[in-house]
Amino acid sequence: MATLTFHGAAQEVTGSCHLLESPALGRVLLDCGLHQGGDAVDRQHQDSLPFDPRTIDAVVLSHAHLDHSGRLPLLVNHGFDGPIHCTEATVDLLELMLEDAAGLYLRDLERDNLRNRRRGKPLRKADYSRADVHKALALCQPHAYGETWSLGPAATVCFHDAGHILGSAIVELRLTEKDRRKTLVFSGDLGKSDAVLMNDPATLTQADLVMMEGTYGDRNHRSMDNTLVELRDILADTWERGGNVMIPSFAVGRTQEILFHLGRLHQRGELARWQIVLDSPMAIKATRLYDRWFSLLDRDDVKHIHRSHHGSLEDYLPNLTCAVSTDESMAVNRIKAGAIIIAGSGMCTGGRIRHHFKHRIWNARNALIFIGFQAHNTLGRQLVDGARHISMFGEDYVVKARIETLGGFSAHADQSQLVDWLGHFEGTPRVALVHGEPRALDALSHRLWKEKKIACEIPALGQSLVF
């Protein structure tokens, strides 16, 4: 019998990591993600691996976001040397994500150890090095969508487009035990229908066990038309008040979508007065990777970019300035009004967006727009929940900027779209809901039973199921 143990993203949104064990394939990890929220050094130290990495035969990675991939260097540091299977585009993005995360982690560790030296406290050792990042990348084995490949002595895998970010995959895993064939489908993160740039998630029909995400299992997104109207209203109001707009954004996925929508507004003559700044070296690099992989993106949206006589997302928005260096980032602080500042990190756990908060969040003329999910224990979640005072860089700041959340920009399927995707499976597969907070998963489970008579399991951290 196959056993699936949930070591992350179980009744929580981050830290996706699931251990699948079977004679048909050995011991395989589905994702190996980092928990998000809090200090990067504390987070890395707390993200231990509750299994022996030397016994893991392979990793099957759904996509490159750190909450699905961020513990790979730690896995390698502790002795893993097997293949890391992912899509072709994910390999490119993974290099970008892991290198950036390692740089931030090692920089913060150096800062903390300097403080520890001054206080006479023990120094912390690094949990992994850049060499571990490089080894993890060297272990990657890329596969195209629709390609079936072997995993272990009696198992195969096929990746399908999940429509979440570039290279994101739904994992279809088939294994044979004692002449019985079983199919596990792992959704990874499912994109929302009709998202710009991304294709709709592929629909599958056969499975014995479906492991599906439920990030937005308790709500539906506003339509994109309504979301863009709301965005225009916020921009108009902020312009009248003589302020700037700050948009915390994930470097991969959300940044490229917001750039596309801002480009559409520019084409209509609605952004001529605004200065748009992309203040994230990683997002700039990721945007150029999207340009390289245009063949995987939604054809209609790509055609729109090319019809505008521009060959890339960056060129598509002529009044965009890319701030790469620290000096260029600091220069943004001299802009008094009329700037739309897009910066990481998406949940405000680090990155340049916090420096822009330092200069602007206390000023009521400014606006802060969230365009992605904010996990518990993140600064972004505090602000979405209405915090009027926050702490950054050892100082307290009053929150006076207008704060809005535009759910229509989400990269995740909403409740109705999740129900629809699962409804394509024939028969009554077993369903395990992951990657969602308890309230969201409970709401999704209730609706699936009420409308589809699908009974769902909601596994806890460390729980196992046999199928």
pLDDT averaged over 10-residue windows placed end to end, the chain, 467 residues: 96 96 97 79 68 98 97 97 97 94 90 92 94 98 97 96 97 95 98 90 98 97 91 96 95 90 89 93 90 80 65 77 93 94 91 94 97 89 95 94 91 96 95 97 98 96 96
Nearest residue to 411 (alpha-carbon basis) of 368, 458, 448, 370: 370
- For the chain, the straight-line distance linking the first and the last C-alpha, in angstroms and rounded, comes to 6
Residues of the chain with CATH 3.40.50.10890: 224-409
Identity of the residue numbered 335: I
- Edge to edge, the sheet with strand 245-248 lists 320-322, 275-279, 339-343, 245-248, 367-370, 402-405
Determine how β-strand 456-457 pairs with β-strand 430-434: parallel
For residue 306, the model assigns a pLDDT of 64
Report residue 293: phi and psi, to 5°.
-105, 30
User: Tokens standing for 299?
Assistant: 């054809």
Domain 224-409, what architecture? 3-Layer(aba) Sandwich (3.40)
d(CA 74, CA 34): 10
Identity of the residue numbered 263: G
Looking up tokens 């790979």 gives: 72
- Residue ranges of E strands in 358-401: 367-370, 389-392, 395-398
- C-beta atoms surrounding 76 within 10 Å: 25
3-state secondary structure of 457: strand
Residue 409 contacts residue 257 (beta carbons within 8 Å): yes
86 CB contacts (<8 Å, ≥6 apart)? 60, 61, 62, 63, 64, 94, 140, 141, 142, 143, 167, 169
Would you give the DSSP letter of residue 14? Answer: S
Residue 22 contacts residue 3 (beta carbons within 8 Å): yes
Residues of the chain with CATH 3.60.15.10: 3-219+411-466
User: Tokens standing for 39?
Assistant: 């200090």
- C-beta atoms surrounding 451 within 10 Å: 11
Q: Which CATH number fits domain 3-219+411-466: 3.40.50.620, 3.30.930.10, 3.60.15.10, 3.40.630.30?
A: 3.60.15.10
Would you give the DSSP letter of residue 308? Answer: T
3-state secondary structure of 240: helix
Would you give the DSSP letter of residue 296? Answer: G
User: Tokens standing for 392?
Assistant: 């950054």
Nearest residue to 456 (alpha-carbon basis) of 429, 438, 435: 429
User: Tokens standing for 378?
Assistant: 């993140």
Give the containing element (helix H, strand E) for 306.
Answer: helix 299-307
Identity of the residue numbered 306: H
- C-beta atoms surrounding 173 within 10 Å: 26
Give the CB-side neighbour count of residue 28, counting CA atoms within 13 A. 27
d(CA 230, CA 235): 9
d(CA 56, CA 79): 9
d(CA 395, CA 379): 14
d(CA 55, CA 450): 42
Provide the β-strand partners of residue 158. Answer: 148, 172
Handedness of CA 12, 17, 22, 24 (dihedral sign): positive
Identity of the residue numbered 85: H
For residue 40, the model assigns a pLDDT of 59
388 CB contacts (<8 Å, ≥6 apart)? 398, 399
Report residue 159: phi and psi, to 5°.
-95, 140
d(CA 184, CA 188): 12
Cα distances from 345 to residues 37, 97, 279, 321, in angstroms, run 11, 12, 10, 18
For residue 208, the model assigns a pLDDT of 97
394 CB contacts (<8 Å, ≥6 apart)? none
Provide the β-strand partners of residue 210. Answer: 185, 431
For residue 349, the model assigns a pLDDT of 87
